[in-house]
């Protein structure tokens, strides 16, 4: 599992590159938190989020290594389906819990 923190534009570029790499029928799977659902569960979830980019700047502390900047982005399942779906076909969407979903895309 990788934690990928990309802007919408970067995710669209990743989908373009995946389209070139994957064979026809190849799949790309995404497990993600839906920002709108997370906001309902944790009201302070989007504090510090910059509109309209959706970027949230924070600091990540790694024991013994130091503190490093970490940018993350606001995402919803619908936004992910739109950004990735421009290049890859959505074949399955499975809610995992109240705020997380599993999306499976396929190269046509």
Domains of the chain plus CATH, in order, are: 8-106 (3.40.50.150)
Strand-pair category, 100-106 with 89-95: antiparallel
Q: What per-residue confidence (pLDDT) applies to 59?
A: 82
Q: What per-residue confidence (pLDDT) applies to 48?
A: 65
Q: What per-residue confidence (pLDDT) applies to 1?
A: 44
Q: Could you read off the pLDDT of 17-47 as tens digits, one per residue?
A: 999 999 999 999 999 988 777 777 777 665 6
- Put simply, whether the predicted model's pTM sits higher than 0.75 gets the answer yes
3-state secondary structure 12-62: HHHHHHHHHHCCCCCEEEEEEECHHHHHHHCCCCCCCEECCCCEEEEEEEE
Spans in the chain with pLDDT lower than 50: 1
């Amino acid at each position: 599992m990788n934690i990928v923190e990309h802007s919408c534009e970067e995710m669209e570029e990743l989908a373009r590159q995946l389209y070139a790499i994957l064979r026809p029928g190849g799949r790309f799977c995404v497990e993600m938190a839906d920002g709108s659902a997370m906001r309902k569960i944790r009201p302070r979830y989007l504090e510090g989020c910059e509109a309209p980019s959706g970027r949230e700047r924070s600091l990540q502390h790694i024991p013994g290594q130091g503190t490093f900047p970490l940018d993350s982005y606001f995402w919803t399942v619908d936004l992910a389906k739109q950004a990735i779906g421009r290049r890859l076909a959505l074949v399955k969407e499975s809610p995992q819990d109240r705020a997380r979903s599993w999306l499976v895309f396929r190269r046509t």
